Copies of this chain bind each other. A is one copy, B any other.
């Protein structure tokens, strides 16, 4: 939630809305089988081989095999708007019958009418109001259930399937491959931590305690009934994006990753932080180059802008995945 807030482009993204796992085993022939033979796949295989060879100079003990992944645009798609924003929009619509006053109150009136111009005019205050009614004022457990229920019902406007079915098959294979080689896999994302935890274990095999994300303030309350509650408040606590990502890694994980994957400039500092450690390192970026099967965007995109990080990756020889050429399959269920 707060990460959306942080990204200037949310209204452009919001506007877009209305327009519209197999597991890999180490050392088996079909590991990473959705990856075409090429430099990206080879770089992954080479790196894992180097850090797991017990007598090699680059050996890393399993406890230190920390791998971090951005979520939006890296593990699942992020177009035409961040999926968490799609959730917020759907949630406003679902709540509208209980809020007749929203008919005349911005940003809700514009959102409910689909009046994109008026919605955009509400600016950042409009977004904060939307996030407040959709992400705060309930317990953490109630919120988790709302997200789970939404995921079970909501359909992506282009692919007409559940949002969690838009996880990238090659990345699911990569996660499984790393875990099979002793890595501990983490999400480090600008997305809301409680939003992601609602599906990360089921979708990616990543348990809640290995999800790092943006968060709002949560407060402990003892109810008059003697039942304690954790209540989500409408205040940003932490933005896990850009320079916040190494900070989040330090805070939640407490040691530096040796493997990091992102897809946008918001991941640049995470990749820099990973790269600056001693010993063997892997830094990867997904370049969205496939308008037919997914989307093609980079330097000019409002969502998932990839510009400075792409330059740095090129200059420093980080691995850049060309989605069109490096992946023979994008989603688990075609294309």
* A residues neighboring B (CB under 8 Å): 63, 66, 140, 184, 186, 193-194, 197, 201, 207-211, 215, 218-220, 222, 227-228, 230, 243-244, 246-247, 250-255, 269, 272-273, 276
> Residue on B with the closest CB to A140?
B250
Q: Which residues of chain B are within 8 angstroms of A276 by Cβ–Cβ distance?
A: 227-228
Measured in the bound complex, the distance between the Cα atoms of B255 and A185 in whole Å is 18
For A254, give its contact among B66, B197, B247, B253 (CB under 8 Å).
B197
Q: Given the interface contacts A193-B251, A197-B254, does A272 sit within 8 Å of B222 by beta carbon?
A: yes
28 contacts between A and B (CB under 8 A): A193-B251, A194-B254, A197-B254, A208-B254, A208-B255, A209-B252, A209-B254, A209-B255, A211-B254, A215-B251, A218-B247, A218-B250, A218-B251, A219-B243, A219-B247, A220-B243, A220-B244, A220-B246, A220-B247, A227-B276, A228-B246, A228-B269, A228-B272, A228-B273, A228-B276, A230-B247, A230-B273, A252-B252
Measured in the bound complex, the distance between the Cα atoms of B188 and A220 in whole Å is 15
Min CB–CB distance A221 → chain B (angstroms): 8
Contact A269 B208 (CB under 8 A): no
> Residue on B with the closest CB to A222?
B272
**How many copies of this chain?**
2
Q: A209-B253, A220-B247 are in contact. List 17 more A-B contacts (CB 8 A).
A: A66-B209, A140-B250, A194-B254, A197-B254, A207-B254, A208-B253, A208-B255, A209-B252, A209-B255, A218-B251, A219-B243, A220-B243, A220-B269, A222-B272, A228-B246, A228-B272, A228-B273
> Residue on B with the closest CB to A207?
B63
Q: Which residues of chain B are within 8 angstroms of A243 by Cβ–Cβ distance?
A: 219-220
Contact A250 B230 (CB under 8 A): yes
Contact B230 A246 (CB under 8 A): yes
Min CB–CB distance A30 → chain B (angstroms): 27
Q: Which residues of chain B are within 8 angstroms of A272 by Cβ–Cβ distance?
A: 222, 228
Measured in the bound complex, the distance between the Cα atoms of B254 and A197 in whole Å is 7
Measured in the bound complex, the distance between the Cα atoms of B218 and A309 in whole Å is 23
Q: Which residues of chain B are within 8 angstroms of A218 by Cβ–Cβ distance?
A: 247, 250-251
Measured in the bound complex, the distance between the Cα atoms of B253 and A211 in whole Å is 9
